[in-house]
Structure 1
């Protein structure tokens, strides 16, 4: 080791020290601090960028590599976020099957194609008289105006704008009576009075009859005006809801009714009846018989849109397969439009107490029709002071329905072609499915119903049944159990951060400790150095470091 005091005569060679550039003290400290971080950083590539002995070419190379890695890592994280944001839900099958006794037996709504019995009011004769001579009496014109509401809507538009107070009573009077249409009923292989099972109700198909449907006070809100004669059976649902199902304390005999097994003996059988002399082939067209709609007990039926036929003199066998969708509680924190469904507490309807997609669509159509036509259909839920459309408004009602459907399609197309999520431009109705939904799919088969041969075998006098036509319908669950579907999280918060961490680790060697390391160098380490060296950390620490290196080199 050479002491400078021993080299006064110049006998020892001394390496010349190049004078270093003069930088401001603070700037030199910052550069030295960056060098120190790069030497200790756990992020891949940073070490070579800050290493003092590296050439400019090497530093540029590692800067490019680090920049490309950061670019691809950021790009993939953004794609992962978009997938998590737009498609957070995955639909899968449940882990175990559900027994059919855990769900209600389907509600069955039956509508006769005979809207006006010829023996009471001959619609065919009256409409032909109007078209040929146009000289109806006031009474005939008034009746034609009322019946046109339940016939094909293109037949008569020259009536009144709004119905009269006795219109529903008249439609009930001319329709096939309850005891005539539903002759015999059998539930769970036991003969039962049809009055105990079915309830009259108003639909867009006129007067129909429903089985296993909630009472009107449980289905509609207090704001809805009720006709006392329809959908009022007085039987209340006992600890049942669509989301929670049946309470465990309930017995098998409960309401809504549920099947105890699969197969014909645990189902519903109905013998329907019509009379040939009462059939009207102009009001509803050439196909006579009955329309049947299956739905769950808390849903208002749309018979004209979803039905299967039960023709006259046919036996129809209906094997029911339920299709149920549930949603995990982990999705409750997501916005409804992200998960594409509503929980009961998230969407309240004005006219219905239970939210379903179909109930929402009916309410939306009601509001749209009221706005477009200044009235609603007689079958739509409404308040007591709402006007009810007459036959003159049938065209307006039809155009309102078509316009509403077009608006929804146009919005869907607009939304699919744009990433704009403006909350003011939601769906026209915004009727997302309920997070718990239940649909009944029907597999039907039919054969000739030779009831006449049976009557002949029993020596029954046919004069007691002049012109009678009969149809038998049997409904039952096809299988003892079914597999329902579940909405679950595709990417939860844990999955999203795990994917981001994996990408950061793959491209950058980055981890949570790397973040802590950066925060440490920007905060705690500086604070501790200031406490240790005082103001010299910012004004002269780099000079001290340089002097230490100078002294070490001389020695």
Structure 2
């Protein structure tokens, strides 16, 4: 048996050796014939005319030029498609069905009296006059004047200390209008709760304010953040609500954060807020007296209010009616794999905040400003989140804090400084202040109307003695949802991988006739068909050389491989 196999291999080798003695065409001739064969069978437009032997050189060059032009157009369009896929992969569309208002929390409202220092407790105007014209203030009076300047519009005294202690904040809170002096009446339609239970004190850049429907500080801030527990009453803890998932299915009607069961003024919040003429201070806060109400546009329950950025006024002796239209943005799971700078939003686990437990764009901006102020001034403002060991800026640092705030705003505008900076073709964040919106965000658009509030006529109608409240001024505020339902916006995938490949394939097919099978065809002619031809004609036929005839193992291996591959 072994002898028979050896004889067969010897006969096969003799055939190959005999073929090698023939006169074979050269390598260039074989290559030209092979390319002509490919151009005859390929489906790519124009190649057939470039490979035909009967065609003139002019015709072949003509088709070559046309093909190159078409290929250049294809490459240009594909590059444009790639840029669009890279820069604008997300499309904001409307949800398929409306969302009822009871599925989202009622907005958090922060009420800030315009009077920061009650004249009956601390006469800022008198202290300022004595400092400016007499100069006979005691050290304690000078310190109080310096501390009070932290919440005044006019920086009339900047010669105070660079840093202050918690006693300064305690002084500012004591001279501010207290809760019973601000709220005369309030009503939340769902429950019969007192005003004291509805509002919690909040420390803002506008001093002491009062907030409705905001989460407790321990749920907003991390444990490392210093808490002013001496005068900050704890709020109410949330009962399973999150911005991404909403309320639990078994949440009761009186859950927290509070939610309205319907639209209209009968299902809203009603407030009567007061001020007293004898307490108004026009030197500290200017000629406009009344209340600042945080604009509900960017203030949901897990977000820290920024009073000086978004607010509208409720003037004294006016009734202000606020109708709210929610604006909620969600994100499709299809774009989770995209980089944050491509989808232009952060998921909760993608952006860690040092001071806040919840990521929102506003919380990120507050933290960024606090960090920048600490670096620039060596301290932070009294209302900023901080660690216990971080110094609190005093009046001597007011100019530095204002400059830090200005510089921070400039960095927000100048995207090349604030956002992503290119390093070796890659991108990296700048100072961890790239504050994109949250992928699930909730804001409230407010429409306001106001008319004179004739509260004196109410006193007359009920035969109440207005003299029992000397100097009292009143304003009324009504806040409610405008519509029973609203349409949610959603970020969806505009340009996915399938869309990108389809566009590229369509462009290539339109201008050149190129397709996926064209790639297979190229592979077939370069490799598989070449190997089969080696089996059919022998390697010497294709190489045009006898240099390998003495390499018996090479001839055996290549010929056997070609035979097995082609028969398979």
Distance 2:444 2:423 in 1: 35
Residue 123 of structure 2 corresponds to residue 122 of structure 1? yes
Note the alpha carbon deviations across 1:263-309, whole angstroms, 9 max, x for none: 11111111111111111111111111110112100110001111011
Asked if 1:520 is matched to 2:524, the reply is: yes
Q: CA deviation at 1:380?
A: 0.2
The reply on whether 1:386 has 2:390 as its aligned counterpart is yes
2:207 corresponds to: 206
After superposition, the Cα gap between the structure-2 partners of 1:415 and 1:236, relative to the gap in structure 1 and judged at 3 Å, is closer
Per-residue deviation at 1:135? 2.1
Task: Provide closer, same or farther for how the CA distance between residues 218 and 522 of structure 1 changes in structure 2, counting only shifts above 3 A.
Answer: same
Kept in 2, the 8 Å contact 1:201–1:230? The answer is no
Residue of structure 2 equivalent to 1:263:
264
1:9 corresponds in structure 2 to none
Contact 2:420–2:428 under 8 Å retained in 1: no
Distance 1:194 1:415, change over 3 A: closer
The SS at the match of 1:355 is: coil
User: How big is the shift at 1:539?
Assistant: 2.9
Cα distance in 2 for residues equivalent to 1:252 and 1:523: 72
Q: How does 1:56-455 map to 2 (within 5 A)?
A: 56-188=57-189, 191-229=192-230, 232-293=233-294, 294=296, 295-412=299-416, 423-424=427-428, 426=430, 429-455=433-459
Contact 1:299–1:356 (8 Å) recurs in 2: yes
Shift of 1:215: 0.7
2:466 to 459, 462, 473: 462
Give how far 1:484 is off. Answer: 2.0
Deviation (angstroms), 1:407: 2.6
Distance 1:305 1:234, change over 3 A: closer
Q: 1:153 touches 1:394 (CA, 8 Å); kept in 2?
A: no
Decide whether aligned partners of structure 1 residues 138 and 40 sit closer, same or farther in structure 2, where only a CA change above 3 A counts: same
Cα deviation digits, residues 152-177 of structure 1 (max 9, x gap) = 14222111111133112211211111
Change (3 A) 1:38 1:346: same
How far the C-alpha of 1:251 sits from its partner, in A, is 2.3
Return the offset for 1:453.
1.2
Cα distance in structure 2, aligned partners of 1:487 and 1:420: 30
Identify the match of residue 501 of structure 1 among 487, 498, 505: 505
- Distance between the aligned counterparts of 2:527 and 2:370, measured in 1? 64
Give the 3 Å change call, closer, same or farther, for CA 416–359 of structure 1 in structure 2. Answer: closer
- 2:92 is paired with a residue of what secondary structure? strand
The separation in 2 between residues aligned to 1:400 and 1:26, in whole angstroms, is 75
**Structure 2 unaligned blocks of 5 or more:** 1-22, 546-568
* Aligned equivalents of 1:27, 1:504: Cα separation in 2: 31
Cα distance per residue 1:170-196 (max 9 Å; x no partner): 112111111111121100165531111
Scaled by the length of structure 1, the TM-score of the pair is 0.90
Structure 1 pair 219/425, CA: closer, same or farther in 2 (3 Å)?
Answer: closer
Work out the number of aligned pairs and report it: 520
- 8 Å CA contact 1:259–1:267 kept in 2: the answer is yes
Per the alignment, in what secondary structure is the counterpart of residue 150 of structure 2? coil
Q: Provide Cα deviations, 1:471-499, integer angstroms capped at 9, x if missing partner.
A: 11110001111112221111111111000
Distance (Å, rounded) in 2 between the aligned partners of 1:481 and 1:109: 25
In the alignment, is the contact (CA less than 8 A) between 1:189 and 1:265 conserved in 2?
no
Q: Distance in 2 between matches of 1:523 and 1:481?
A: 64
Contact 1:317 1:473 in 2 (8 A): yes
Deviation at 1:37, TM superposition (A): 0.8
Check whether the contact 2:323–2:448 (CA below 8 A) recurs between aligned residues: yes
Instruction: Provide, for residues 325-354 of structure 1, a one-character-per-residue CA deviation record: whole Å limited to 9, x for no partner.
Output: 111111111111111111111101000000
Structure 2 residue 50 is matched with structure 1 residue 46:
no
SS at match of 2:151: coil
Instruction: Report the alpha carbon displacement of residue 419 of structure 1 after superposing the two structures with TM.
Output: 12
TM-fit CA distance, 1:540: 4.9
- Matched with 1:13 is none
3-state SS of 2:229 partner: coil
Q: CA deviation at 1:534?
A: 3.4
Greater mean alpha carbon deviation, residues 238-247 or residues 189-198? 189-198
The aligned counterpart of 2:556 is none
| Residue 426 of structure 1: how far off its partner (Å) | 4.0
- Structure 1 residue 231: Cα displacement: 5.5
Alpha-carbon RMSD = 2.2
- 1:456-481 deviations in Å (ceiling 9; x for gaps): 12111223211111111110001111
Moved more, 148-157 or 195-204: 148-157
Partners of 2:193 and 2:414 in 1: CA distance: 50
- Displacement of 1:436 in angstroms is 1.1
Q: Within 2, Cα distance between the matches of 1:163 and 1:415?
A: 34
Stretches of structure 1 that go unaligned for 5 or more consecutive residues are 1-21, 542-555
Structure 1: distance between partners of 2:510 and 2:417: 39
Change (3 A) 1:81 1:54: same
Q: Deviations over 1:383-410 (max 9, x none)?
A: 0000001111111100111012123323
Is the partner of 2:323 in helix, strand or coil?
A: strand
For residues 431 and 414 of structure 1, do their structure 2 counterparts lie closer, same or farther at Cα, with a shift above 3 Å needed? closer
